[in-house]
Amino acid sequence: MALTTQDRTRRFELLAMPHLDAAYNFARWLVGNPADAEDVVQEAYLRAFRYFDAYQGGNFRVWLLAIVRNSFITWSRTNRGGRLVFRPDIADEGGREAQALVWSTAPGDPETLLLRRLDGETLGRLMQRLPDEYREVLLLREVEDLSYKAIAEVIGVPPGTVMSRLSRARAALRKLWLQSEQEAEGEV
Amino acid sequence: MKCERSRTLLPMLADRALGPLRRRLLVRHVARCMGCAAELEELQAMQAAMHDRLPYHRAPPGLAARIGAALTLETPPVPARARFRWPAIGFAGSGLAGALAGILLMALLQQPADVRQSLVRSAIDSHIRSMMADHLTDVATSDQHTVKPWLSAHIDVSPPVRDLAPQGFPLIGGRLDYVDGHPAAAVVYRHARHVINLFAWASPGSADAGFRSAQYQGFNVVTWRRDGVTYCAVSDLEADLLAAFARDVARPG
């Protein structure tokens, strides 16, 4: 199939541009600031365009988000002193404690009521304090509304790992939130 | 259903990832169990907060236009063809048949060398680029069961991804790349401080070929072809070590 250069560019734009907000929001939460998020997204789109021939159908947003994530990893290697950001071996250990925390809710707990009043700005601050590997699964699940299987595709781990990492991410977020609530109470 | 089981399934219920049967059993349990009901409510409250109230950053105006402009500048890779090059004809005095035979002979001698050299150079370029741009891996893990599915999800070749740590070549990760105009899977291994890029790309219809070594610009390259896939290992490793690596990685089974 011989696509002309123009056709190829046009086809790519038709598929990719509708996901620009999703790509940017994901990058923005991973990176933490608007300027670098733009760079990461632009780099991701160029990479996606280069690898466009390797796209074999399926969910384009998932394919694109995986590339955004790769661009983020490249970016963070050069901008965070070469530190490896994704360390699945670490992220998936020590889950017991975190899970126990999730399971400790007592019946009639008032936390749910408090959670319903949790405002977006506070939530955003808590999110920024989470490790990257937790933040990304939460974004992909709760914001992008992706299935475990799709998240697995984006981050390149088995779906079972997605589930356990998501549990730990939620527990970690909840822990941060409880801490911030206690601190807020202490200040009053 | 017991609470312990219920608790592990609650996130799946909240994530709409349960089949109808388990869903019905779990809902029945939650209806009778205060603790699990509270747990589910809290999960859902956190989900609602994330989904409805976490600020959503829309792409800033101008980003789409900037990307569009960058795309038009980007020239798509042109598939490299084994181009037949007319050799310089310098034998005007010979007969037509002789000239044709000469051309044929030169083409036979020259063309594979040309093609191979462009391949070797391109593979070395990709190898150097992968280290200079600090973009060695798209998926960084020593787990072959992570690298392989990642690559097969992103490209149509499935290169051998092996645990060669016992042989002294630990796996570092995988990456998508381009070699000689082909989208290629790159599997990255290491030996001491030397990086080894193993490129693989589909070359359907091409005959199998055994190991061939080449050296260029201080890099060693081993190429081979099997079952319509061309493999190319590049490293600054010594030639015999790289050859050993190639044999290990290509070993069937």
Domains located in chain B, CATH noted: 3-51 (no CATH), 115-250 (3.30.200.100)
**Using the beta-carbon criterion (under 8 Å), do A148 and B153 form an inter-chain contact?**
no
Read off the pLDDT of each residue in B110-138 and give the average, rounded to a whole number. Answer: 68
Average pLDDT, chain A: 82
Cross-chain CB nearest to B50 (options A66, A142, A147): A142
pLDDT in tens, B134-164: 567 777 777 888 888 888 888 888 788 888 8
**Residues of chain A with C-beta less than 8 angstroms from the C-beta of B77:** 50
For chain A, where do the domains classified as CATH 1.10.10.10 start and end? 88-187
Compute how many other C-beta atoms are within 10 angstroms of the C-beta atom of residue B250: 17
- Binned at pLDDT 50, 70 and 90, residue B115 comes out as low
Q: In CATH, what number does A5-79 get?
A: 1.10.1740.10
List residues bridging with A111 in a β-sheet.
none
DSSP state of A141: I
Fold classification of A88-187 (topology level)? Arc Repressor Mutant, subunit A (1.10.10)
Read off the pLDDT of each residue in B175-191 and give the average, rounded to a whole number. Answer: 86
Considering only residues A93 and A149, tell me which one the structure prediction assigns the higher pLDDT. A149
pLDDT in tens, A103-153: 444 445 677 778 888 888 999 999 999 999 999 999 999 999 999 999 999
Judged by average pLDDT, the poorest of A40-49, A53-62, A162-171 is: A53-62
List residues bridging with B175 in a β-sheet.
B186
pTM higher than 0.90, yes or no? no
- All residues at 6 or more sequence positions from B249 whose CB lies less than 8 Å from its CB, including other chains: B160, B162, B164, B169, B189, B198, B233
Q: Which of residues 109-168 of B touch A (CB under 8 A)?
A: 133-135, 138-141, 145-146, 149-150, 153-156
pLDDT number for residue A69: 95
Give the pair of three-digit tokens for residue B166: 């016992």
Name the residue of chain B whose CA is nearest to A141's CA: B15
Q: Per-residue pLDDT for A88 more than 50?
A: no
What separation in angstroms does the CA of B72 have from each of A53, A60, B126?
Answer: 17, 21, 23
Distance, in Å, from the CA atom of A42 to the CA atom of A44, rounded to the nearest integer, reads 5
**Using the beta-carbon criterion (under 8 Å), do B67 and A45 form an inter-chain contact?**
yes
Contact B229, B157 (CB under 8 A): yes
> Which range scores top for mean pLDDT: A101-115, A173-187, B41-55?
B41-55
Of B18, B7, B16, whose CA–CA distance to B42 is shortest?
B7
Give the pair of three-digit tokens for residue B81: 């063809």
Type of residue at A146: L
Considering only residues B88 and B169, tell me which one the structure prediction assigns the higher pLDDT. B169
pLDDT number for residue B132: 61
Distance, in Å, from the CA atom of B191 to the CA atom of A30, rounded to the nearest integer, reads 33
Of B57, B115, B204, A171, whose CA–CA distance to A163 is shortest?
A171
Average pLDDT, chain B: 79
pLDDT in tens, B188-232: 998 877 889 999 998 888 888 888 888 876 788 999 998 889 999
Contact A148, B13 (CB under 8 A): no
- Binned at pLDDT 50, 70 and 90, residue A2 comes out as low
pLDDT number for residue A102: 43
Name the residue of chain A whose CA is nearest to B62's CA: A38
Distance, in Å, from the CA atom of A159 to the CA atom of B176, rounded to the nearest integer, reads 22
pLDDT in tens, B8-49: 999 999 999 998 999 999 999 999 998 899 999 999 999 999
pLDDT number for residue A43: 94
ipTM for the predicted complex comes to 0.84
Q: Which of residues 127-156 of A touch B (CB under 8 A)?
A: 127, 138, 141-143, 145, 147-148, 153, 156
Rounded to 10°, the helix B63-73/A34-50 angle is: 30
Q: Which of residues 6-45 of A touch B (CB under 8 A)?
A: 8-9, 12-13, 17, 20-21, 23-25, 28-29, 34, 37-38, 41-42, 45
For chain A, where do the domains classified as CATH 1.10.1740.10 start and end? 5-79
pLDDT number for residue A64: 95
**B35 in contact with A at a CB cutoff of 8 Å?**
yes
